[in-house]
Chains A and B, each alone.
Chain A
Amino acid sequence: MRVPLSWLVDYVDIPSDVAAMAHRLTLAGLPIAAIESTGGQFERIEVGRIAALEKHPNADRLLLATVDLGEGAMTVVTGAPNLQIGDHVPFAHVGAELWDYHANPPIRRALREGRIRGVTSRGMVCSAAELGLGDDHEGILILDARHPVGVPLARVFGDTVLELEVTPNRADCLSLLGIAQEVFSLYGGDLRQPRIDVVPPGESDALSIEIASLDLCSRYCGLIVDRVRVGPSPVWMQDRLAAAGIRPISNLVDVTNYVMLEFGQPLHAFDLDRVGGGRVIVRNARPGETLETLDGVVRRLQTEMLVIADSERPIGLAGVMGGRDSEITAGTTRVLLESANFQPTSIRRTARHLKLPSEASRRFERGIAPEIAWLALHRAAELIRDLGAGEPRYPAIDCYPRPVDRPPVRVPIAEFERLLGIPIATQEVTEVLQRLACVTVVEQGVIVVMPPQRRLDIAIAADVVEEVARIVGFDRLPERLPAGSLPPVDQANAPAFEDSLRDALVAEGAAEIVSYSMVGEAARDRVPVEPLGEPLGDQFAERLLPAQQPLALVNPLSSEMALLRTDLVGQMLIAIRDNGRWFDRDVALFEIGRIYLACGEDLPEERRVAALGLGGHQSGESLDARRATDFLDIKGCVEGTLDRIGVRGAVFAPMRHSLFRPGFAAAVLTGDPRDARAVLLGGMGEVDVAVRRAHGIDGPVFLALLDVARCQSGAAPLVRVEAPSRFPVVRQDLSVNVRRAVSVEDARRVIARAVRPIGREIALVDVYPGIDAGTADLSLTFRITYGADDRTLTDAEVGRAHRAAEDAVRARLNGRVRGRDD
């Protein structure tokens, strides 16, 4: 809402410091987005009064005008024919910027001292054209005498306009009178309502009004205006409308807009001769009806839309836009002025459905008190009469079958302290409320408040408390902290676990990213989701890359953001690719986010997933060295992460999924995959060549996906810690040759079982492939650490255990012990 202060001052005293007022209005809940000032171009120009006129001694067609400027007078030469003694005129001092019409084309230049036929002028009286206010450059611009002598012209033609961001609850502040009330409640002074002579309602021979849809229109007031003379409205009205952001159209339409800005009540003027049968029916649109609106568009109406109709057809879309047919034209002689109250949600739906938001619909949809319709109608009628635009035919018709009765709001005095934390004296409360135009009665500890008509937003006690708080200012309230007991603590909640997972991934060297939850069809197509029929891969797919139909947005911003993601893969690969432009190594990214899985008509499952991605190269040992990332890098990251979040004993098993390069993918499980109780936590591997190429990536990339909730379930809290043994340990290596089918993990487990209980740690220290094609094709060296908690082991003990390990390798792995069996 644009609020020209030159207009607002008609209704309320305005403090001189406008910026301070804007700040105070903002604090009170009327945010001022901008303060706009106009009139800067009138610097060094002020209002003067013609005190004397004489003939120029040396020129017949020139005059010497003596201009009274309040503090002193100036005599200047002028050739203007229209000056009279007593006229108030703009007077420009030397240095003022004026339009020079002797130049072609005219240019704006600073006024200099001039000498015409022996007489020196230190300034000049100005025409409208010289001021840039019009085309007339023959006569001097004569100002309204109410502008006092000596006032800067900027105050006459310039203005300050407040840009007010009216919140949806404050329909009242979509009117100057409502805003004036706010200024008054903060600053006091004088509040001036326009005086309106309200004539009691009556009947008319020329017009009948009927409300057929009472639920959508509670009141309809109509008044006939005769002897209409359509023309432009006066300049002052046009200026005010323009300053408020509304385009002047014609005297009648301008009056309706003027009153709308004043009262917040939209009005409409119909050409009465186009209202068939002199009948106005407010009803729902009928099936198939259409209406050409003022903007020339033919609208197909729907039956829930409210229309103003004559005896045959719709002539206006109630509260949204008038019809083209009944529009005021130059030839209009009789007008029906409408001032009505329409149901807010109906107006809002219609305006939104037709994408036709208007000044009128904006006000109706926020709610207007029905009482205002009658006042606004009479205000408009008076303005029309005063402007000579037509003659109102009183009485007006008032169709208001069920007057609304708003009950007063009862506020216990204790409520102020209960909500605000400190008591507010009853005296002060009532004073504040009265300044807000509320009527208050105090009875037995309760303040009964009747809010002003336009404040439909004050309906319950809390509303009244807020009114008082915002006027006295929230500064008044103390700062405290809530007393009382605290709710119980839930240690194992999901956000805390997610945080530990984040920290774990960061510790592994990954940088956290956050991607949009929305993706496009094309991006989805680049990520393969088809399972290959291999049990682990299929489980992995089901948890982390489900092949299901994604949820779609009804109103996406673009086709790239039209679907809710069902995996984190595509965005991770794109992020790796993009960062590869800037970094040739150590691109390690992770994201913890949700995927959205449709659940019929229920809310979707929002499954939490962690994705980890590694680019093709890692920093090497020496300064410039980099080495290719391989499977063991991503596995190491996953192992480290699982350790840190408390998932112990995770098992990695070969897995096949079309996302990964065959033979370079693993499932992560809580136990042996052959054990039905083992739960799949996720999977990892090298991304399939075709998949990464589809994402524009040239070199290898590695990806891991983890099911966050399952990781949380699989994480065991640390319950028991053992003291380290004080006794020495013995380390012995065991090198074995086994077939490739034997996994390192199998071998390790067999050896571990054999060396129990004194084998404390079994570490793989060497892998050497392809030693002997005939019998075995893999050589593994394990370093076994032997030790006990209660004694130093004897050589014999260690030897027995080590031989048991060798036997197990032969018996259970069908392997050979190097150095003994070769």
Chain B
Amino acid sequence: MIDRVCDLEREALEALGEAGDERSLEEWRLRYLARSGRLSMLLRGLGDLPDADRPAAGKEANRVKLALESAHAAVSRRIETARLEVATSIDVTLPGRRGPRGGLHPVTRIVREIVAVFGQLGFRVSEGPEVEFDSYNFERLNIPPDHPARDMHDTYWLDIPGRSGQILLRTHTSPNQIRIMERQRPPIRVVVPGKVYRYEAVDATHETMFFQVEGLAVDRGITMADLKGTLATFARAMFGSERRVMFYSAYFPFVEPGVEVAIDCFSCGGSGCRTCKGTGWIEIMGAGMVHPHVLRGVGYDPDEYTGFAFGLGPERVAMLRYGIPDIRLFYSNDLRFLRQFH
């Protein structure tokens, strides 16, 4: 008798494993557990057993009954859960309910990145006027009137009676070198982002208004090696730690020596491509040691203090990094462009 009960249990549990939905589960229940099911039929035979065997067999039959009932309940729960899941689940590919979509302008983002990197190197942020005196924009930066270097700066002049040819839209952020040194004594470490203007027709690579970030460090004992270390650190922070950084001679009237800073092309790795115009190198900024005339002009003794200055264009950084084909996109105020940065 006990053997037959155990066999039934094995058989029933095996069959239960195949019951996948409510109907087959119910069939299983009717077959094994119901009043007219196989287990009940078997139990009815208990009375025919000898008295001595009856308690053990009864006990075993009860155990099997409970086991099958609990197995049934578990499967039933599983099936029910699955059914409910299908009926009430969410399609997770539905679009999420989003809060408002805002974001910063790409130039703001790049400027912040630039400022943050220099911030870690101890540079503070400052700002200055966009409408400037000729003296700050040119003369005190070692660019006297009628100097050929003025050809590098196509200038917008302001029509201010009594001030003809003296007030302009700054062509670079470098006037801030003068403004900062005038109001502060060394040590100086400052970056100045802002709009600058060039009297220049607009095309895919030229804007008449764009941003620059100026930098200046002045103290005793500042050298070209400090310039190199600072700007190489910056270049690698912006363009990848594996970048090679190259410095080469360049002319800016307010620095001496002057350099151009270039990185090896991240697009082709230096073999030459469209991004680097086949040279393997990409110019990212101009820099140099502050010219002794500039230092003297703000009342600093060039024999005591030295410094370096640099300037770069955030649009250019963004164009290089994101493959932006046309500088005019920045000031088109087109959300289809801007939202890609959000």
Interface residues of A (CB under 8 A from B): 23, 26-29, 31, 167-170, 344-345, 348-349, 365-366, 417-422, 460-463, 465-466, 469-470, 474-475, 477-487, 489-490, 493-496, 499, 502, 505-518, 551-557, 561, 564, 571, 574-575, 578-579, 582-583, 586-589, 594, 596, 598, 601, 603-604, 606, 623
- The answer, yes or no, to whether B149 is at the interface (CB within 8 Å) is yes
Q: Across the interface, which residues of B come within 8 angstroms of A417, CB to CB?
A: 223
**Residues in chain A near residue B126, CB distance under 8 A:** 493, 495
- Central interface residue in A344, A494, A495, by most chain B CB within 10 Å: A495
Contact call A555/B247, Cβ cutoff below 8 A:
no
Partner of A169, one of B108, B222, B251: B251
Q: In the bound complex, do residue B146 and residue A502 qualify as a contact, i.e. CB atoms below 8 Å apart?
A: no
Instruction: Kindly list 12 other residue pairs between chains A and B, CB separation below 8 angstroms, not including A419-B224, A555-B157.
Output: A167-B251, A474-B259, A479-B232, A490-B124, A493-B124, A499-B112, A511-B102, A514-B333, A516-B209, A552-B158, A578-B334, A596-B130
Residues of B within 8 A of A366 (CB): 148
Q: Is the CB of A481 within 8 A of B223?
A: no
CB contact under 8 A between A480 and B228, given known A345-B146, A474-B248, A511-B102: yes
Chain A interface: which of B1-9, B47-55, B185-193? Answer: B185-193
Contact A462 B219 (CB under 8 A): no
Judged by a CB distance under 8 angstroms, whether B121 is at the interface is: yes
Chain A proximity of B184: nearest CB distance (Å): 7
**Contacts of B291 on A, CB cut-off 8 Å?**
462
Chain B positions within 8 Å of A463 at CB level: 256
**Can you sample 24 A-B contacts with CB below 8 Å?**
A345-B146, A365-B146, A419-B289, A460-B292, A461-B292, A462-B289, A466-B256, A469-B224, A470-B248, A475-B246, A479-B228, A482-B226, A484-B187, A487-B190, A489-B124, A502-B104, A507-B102, A510-B100, A517-B209, A553-B159, A571-B333, A579-B333, A588-B102, A603-B129
Q: Quick check: is B320 within 8 A (CB to CB) of the other chain? A: no
Whether A419 pairs with B257 at a CB distance below 8 angstroms is yes
**In the complex, which of the residues B130, B193, B219, B246 contacts A482, with contact meaning CB atoms closer than 8 Å?**
B219
B335 touches A582 (CB 8 A): yes
> With A348-B146, A518-B209 in contact, do A603 and B102 touch (Cβ < 8 Å)?
no
> By the criterion CB–CB under 8 Å, are A606 and B129 in contact?
yes
Residues of the B chain whose Cβ atoms lie less than 8 Å from the Cβ of A478? 225, 228-229
Beta-carbon contact of B159 and A552 below 8 Å: yes
A477, B225: Cβ atoms under 8 Å?
yes
**Given the known A-B contacts A26-B248, A603-B132, are A517 and B104 also in contact in the complex, defined by CB atoms under 8 Å?**
no
A487 touches B124 (CB 8 A): yes
Chain A residues lying within 8 Å of B247, measured Cβ to Cβ, are 474-475, 477
Q: Using Cβ atoms and an 8 Å threshold, which residues of chain B touch A486?
A: 122, 187, 189
* B177, chain A: closest CB distance, angstroms: 15
Please give me the residue from chain A that is nearest to B157 by CB atom: A554
B94 to chain A, nearest CB (A): 8
Q: Shortest Cβ distance from A613 into chain B, in angstroms?
A: 10
Known contacts: A516-B209, A588-B100. The answer to whether A474 contacts B187 by CB under 8 A is no
CB A33 to nearest CB in B, in angstroms, measures 10
Chain A min CB distance to B135 (Å) = 11
Give the nearest-CB partner of A553 in chain B. Answer: B156
Query: Given known contacts A482-B189, A623-B95, is B130 in contact with A517 (CB within 8 Å)?
Result: yes
Other-chain contact of B102, A422, A460, A505, A554 (Cβ < 8 Å): A505
User: Does B201 make an interface contact (CB < 8 A)?
Assistant: yes
Point out the residues of chain B lying under 8 angstroms from A564, CB to CB: 131, 158
Distance in angstroms between the alpha carbons of A678 and B223 in the assembled complex? 52
Residue of A nearest to B107 (CB): A514
Chain B, interface size category, equals 35 or more
List residues of chain B with CB under 8 Å of any chain A CB: 95, 99-105, 107-108, 112, 121-122, 124-127, 129-133, 145-149, 151-152, 156-163, 167, 169, 184, 187-190, 193, 195, 197, 199-202, 208-209, 217, 219-226, 228-230, 232-233, 246-251, 253, 256-259, 279, 289, 291-292, 306, 330-331, 333-336, 338-339, 342
Residue on B nearest A623 in the bound complex, by CB: B95
Given contacts A168-B149, A348-B148, contact A502 B131 (CB under 8 A): no
> Which residues in A have their C-beta under 8 angstroms from that of B162?
601
Between A349, A466, A561, the greatest number of chain B beta carbons within 10 A of the residue's beta carbon is seen for A466
A462-B257 contact in complex given A345-B145, A495-B127, A551-B159, C-beta closer than 8 Å = yes
The B interface is mostly helix, strand or loop, or mixed, namely: mixed
Contact A27 B249 (CB under 8 A): yes
Closest A residue to B248 by beta carbon equals A27
User: Contacts of A571 on B, CB cut-off 8 Å?
Assistant: 333
Report yes or no: A509 in contact with B146, Cβ–Cβ below 8 A.
Answer: no
Query: Per a CB cutoff under 8 Å, which of B95, B129, B193, B222 touches A495?
Result: B193
Given contacts A494-B127, A553-B158, A603-B131, contact A422 B251 (CB under 8 A): no
CA distance A344 to B102 in the complex (A): 54
Distance (whole angstroms) from the CB of A365 to the closest CB of chain B: 5
Nearest Cβ distance between residue B328 and chain A, in whole angstroms?
11
User: Given contacts A474-B259, A511-B103, A514-B330, is CB(A561)–CB(B208) below 8 Å?
Assistant: yes
Q: Do A506 and B257 touch across chains, with their CB atoms under 8 A apart?
A: no
B211 nearest in chain A by CB position: A514
A601 lies within 8 A of B160 (CB): yes
CB atoms of A29 and B219 under 8 A apart: no
Q: How far is the CB of A42 from chain B (nearest CB, A)?
A: 24
Contacts of B99 in A (CB 8 A): 509
Quick check: B226 and A421 within 8 Å, CB to CB?
Answer: yes
Residues of A within 8 A of B289 (CB): 419, 462
Do B105 and A515 have beta carbons less than 8 Å apart? no
Residue of A nearest to B190 (CB): A487
**Residues of A contacting B208 in the complex (Cβ-Cβ under 8 angstroms):** 516, 518, 557, 561
CB of A481 within 8 A of CB of B129, answer no
A482: nearest chain-B partner, CB-CB? B226
A487-B146 in contact (CB<8A):
no
Partner of B103 from A506, A514, A596 at Cβ < 8 Å? A506
Contacts of A344 in B (CB 8 A): 146, 148
B148-A168 in contact (CB<8A) = yes
B264 to chain A, nearest CB (A): 13
Contacts A365-B148, A509-B99, A588-B100 given; indicate if A557 touches B201 (C-beta within 8 A): yes
A470 and B257 in contact, given A477-B225, A511-B335, A601-B163 (Cβ under 8 angstroms): yes
Collect the chain A residues with CB atoms within 8 Å of residue B335's CB.
Answer: 511, 579, 582-583, 587, 589
Q: Is B189's CB under 8 angstroms from A551's CB?
A: no
Q: Which residues of A contact B249 (CB under 8 A)?
A: 27-29, 466, 469-470, 474
Complex: chain A residue closest to B133, CB-CB: A603
Q: How far is the CB of A819 from chain B (nearest CB, A)?
A: 37
Given A507-B102, A606-B130 in contact, is the A479-B229 Cβ separation under 8 Å? yes
Q: Is the CB of A418 within 8 A of B209?
A: no
Among B148, B226, B338, the one with the most A-chain Cβ atoms within 10 Å of its Cβ is: B148
